[in-house]
A and B are shown apart, each in its own frame.
Chain A
Amino acid sequence: MEKNNTVLDIQNLKLYFRTTRGTVQAVDGVDFKLKTNQAVVVVGESGCGKTSLSKAVLRLLPRNVEHYSGKVYLNDIETMSLDDEEYRKQIRWVKMSLVPQAAMNALNPVIRVGDQVAEPMSVHYGVKKEEALQQAIKMFQHVGVPVDFINRYPFELSGGMRQRVALAMALVTAPDLVILDEPTSALDVLTQANIFNLLKRIKSEMATSFVLITHDIATSSELADRVAVMYAGQIVEVADSSRFFKEPRHPYSAKLMASVPRLRGNDEPDFITGQPPSLIKPPTGCRFAARCPRRFERCSEEPPVTKIGDDVVKCWLYV
């Protein structure tokens, strides 16, 4: 694969947490690649490790980390070998930024939103405050927030506006990669559609790549170039979105797609029986086997990752 248009390359990323009941294997050997100016949607049920994956990529680790390993290449820089200070200076918000989950709490309640958006400019580029604010104003216009809002505090904005501010903040330094962690989960449907239209426009205007973490397959389908399906801490399928939404390969993906209600057609939404496995002692073999309608004897062994063209699937059916 051409190295230079790959913006993100994750190899065997692991993040385990220590809890009183045992080790939680939240991210367990994740691999995937993302090309420049593409958007990958990471979908999966709640608790499958999506947010932990974003935390692992961003190195925003909680205090109870037990194991953290793997390789993360960001534009050919291996970020895992950088120490914290190097990582802060070279990667954080310069190369990679975040639109956090629940922008409600992601903004400091006592600092004006303009200052918060401008802050990365002064931290990373040593820009004067007025200049940084000018850049913030530009970003506000870009994401559709009235310019005079820069002097407001987060509590004076609606949820949708706050989310836009968080987006402006993520884009202010023009990073190569923006990670969006369920950016619309707390918003109403209309506002969700607004935000996604905005994201689409930004993607076409700026050379930015997106990792969109969500459980909302329906809304994300418009933005996605690639889809990565996560199940029990692992990526079980990565595919082109056009193909994925038509015919997903992995049985879990198929079930997941079948659970999304459709506008046309007579198909009733389906559901998946059972519960996702605990991440404390995940089952050996295929982790979906217990709930899989198409399981057979080999599923008790760990399935290999099979490459089909650019796509990847982790299932014995495709070996």
Chain B
Amino acid sequence: METVSEPIVTSKPKVKKNSSSSAFQRIFRYSFVRLITLFVTVVIGVYLTIMIANMGGYVDTIMKAEIRERITISVANNQAYKNMPKDQLNELILERIQLEEKRMGLDRPLVIRSVNFLKNAMTLNLGRAVNMNSDAGSRQVRLIILERLPYTLLLMGTSNLILFFSAMFLALALSRNYGSIWDKIVIALTPTSSAPAWFYGIFFILIFAAVLRILPFGGVMDAPIPETFIARALSVLKHLILPASALIISTFFLSIYNWRTFFLINSSEDYVDTAKAKGLQGRDIERRYILRPTLPYIITNFALMLIGIWTGAIVTETVFQWPGLGRTIFKAIGLYDTPVIVGTTIIYAYLLAITVFLLDFVYALVDPRVKIGGGK
């Protein structure tokens, strides 16, 4: 009568020796295959990024033209070569151009170099930037990224965490009061999310910085840097308010609307009705019968939100003069600085792959229906 397969991973009681070792084998095999596929995905993704960042080789042409122009001008303006014959001068210029192209690696075709780029990227050897440097003066891509990362994590982390939790719990409350006046207000305000964060940012700057003069226009800290740590922290906090609120407000109502619909669908399940008939309190119904069965989905959203923090907010950071990664990427794209672009992408790709890999295990932990490697 009962249709029960072998013991599942998460159920502890009475797992026999041989079945537990087969479960281990199954998980091991699954993890191995999964890691390989994810690795291949990352390789393909990064290689595509390298090719796109180089515009399929067109960046080489741009760089070569730039080198030619720079060297020609510098030689022409050099007083020491003023009396040199034309032929000799041209030869000198050509020689220097070739030297510079060789230094930049432009003498070899992109297809060959791209393999090298790929190898360096995959081993997290991020290399040197072409044009950019960190504020401390280093050309190391790693240092450029590390210098900007804390600011991006601070801004994106604060706003995304506040947004995620407030939207989810407000949505839960709204789904409880379906059709109430608050529910209607939120639905009516959902289109506000069609405007991007920087749009709100500009208005916030106008209102709170220009007119009311209670919050700074941008940046991360007051101009003479405060002495004590607490004063510095408070200063950063003050500068954080406007960009963070702009980021939050721009997706706030849409997020609530999304979650609300999600909870409404899940609270019309039969087992939620049964729980109500059983006389459970509303709080327990929400915890055990709505949130618990949907935990995999919620965790997925949370994890993807966390890695989404990494990329920063390009335009909002620019509007608020916030020295984050978003602005760095933006600048790198403008300067065709492929090592920086690839550097940020590779870290994001790795984070994404690791998250996806770990999520499978988290699903199996929180949802008894999921069995790792249990498919056909």
Residues on A facing B (Cβ under 8 Å): 58, 60, 63, 88-89, 91-94, 97-98, 100-102, 105-111, 119-120, 123-124, 149, 151-153, 155-158, 160-161, 169
Distance in angstroms from B80 CB to nearest chain A CB is 80
Distance in angstroms from B190 CB to nearest chain A CB is 20
B367 touches A110 (CB 8 A): yes
Residues on B facing A (Cβ under 8 Å): 1-5, 11, 13, 178-179, 269-271, 273-281, 284, 288-289, 292-293, 295, 366-369
A158 to B269: give the CA distance in the assembly, Å.
20
Most buried by A among B2, B11, B274: B274
A94 to B277: give the CA distance in the assembly, Å.
10
B278 touches A100 (CB 8 A): no
Distance in angstroms from B12 CB to nearest chain A CB is 9
Besides A108-B288, A111-B288, A156-B4, 16 other A-B contacts (C-beta < 8 A) = A60-B277, A92-B276, A93-B277, A101-B270, A107-B271, A110-B293, A110-B295, A110-B366, A119-B280, A123-B278, A123-B284, A124-B279, A149-B2, A157-B2, A157-B4, A158-B3
B274 touches A94 (CB 8 A): no
A149 to B367: give the CA distance in the assembly, Å.
18
Chain B residues with Cβ under 8 A from A153's Cβ? 368-369
20 contacts between A and B (CB under 8 A): A60-B277, A63-B179, A92-B276, A98-B274, A100-B274, A105-B269, A106-B270, A106-B271, A108-B293, A110-B292, A110-B366, A110-B369, A120-B278, A120-B279, A123-B279, A123-B280, A151-B11, A153-B369, A155-B368, A155-B369
B280 touches A156 (CB 8 A): no
Most buried by B among A94, A110, A111, A160: A110
If A108-B289, A155-B369, A158-B3 touch, whether A60 touches B279 (CB-CB below 8 Å) is no
Q: Is the interface of B mostly helix, strand, loop or mixed?
A: loop
Q: Which residue of A lies closest to B12 (CB)?
A: A151
Distance in angstroms from B375 CB to nearest chain A CB is 15
Chain A residues with Cβ under 8 A from B292's Cβ? 108, 110-111
Distance in angstroms from A252 CB to nearest chain B CB is 30
Chain A residues with Cβ under 8 A from B279's Cβ? 88-89, 91-94, 120, 123-124
Chain A residues with Cβ under 8 A from B271's Cβ? 105-109
Q: Which residue of A lies closest to B179 (CB)?
A: A63
Chain B residues with Cβ under 8 A from A102's Cβ? 270
A160 touches B289 (CB 8 A): no
A151 to B368: give the CA distance in the assembly, Å.
11
Chain A residues with Cβ under 8 A from B1's Cβ? 158, 160-161
A155 to B2: give the CA distance in the assembly, Å.
10
A97 to B284: give the CA distance in the assembly, Å.
18
Chain A residues with Cβ under 8 A from B289's Cβ? 108
A98 touches B179 (CB 8 A): no
Chain A residues with Cβ under 8 A from B293's Cβ? 108-110
Q: Which residue of B lies closest to A87 (CB)?
A: B279
Chain B residues with Cβ under 8 A from A98's Cβ? 274, 277
Chain A residues with Cβ under 8 A from B275's Cβ? 108
B368 touches A100 (CB 8 A): no
Chain B residues with Cβ under 8 A from A120's Cβ? 278-279
Chain A residues with Cβ under 8 A from B11's Cβ? 151
Q: Which residue of A lies closest to B276 (CB)?
A: A60
Chain A residues with Cβ under 8 A from B274's Cβ? 98, 100, 106-107
B4 touches A152 (CB 8 A): yes
A119 touches B278 (CB 8 A): yes
Most buried by A among B5, B275, B281, B289: B275
Q: Which residue of A lies closest to B3 (CB)?
A: A158
Chain A residues with Cβ under 8 A from B179's Cβ? 63
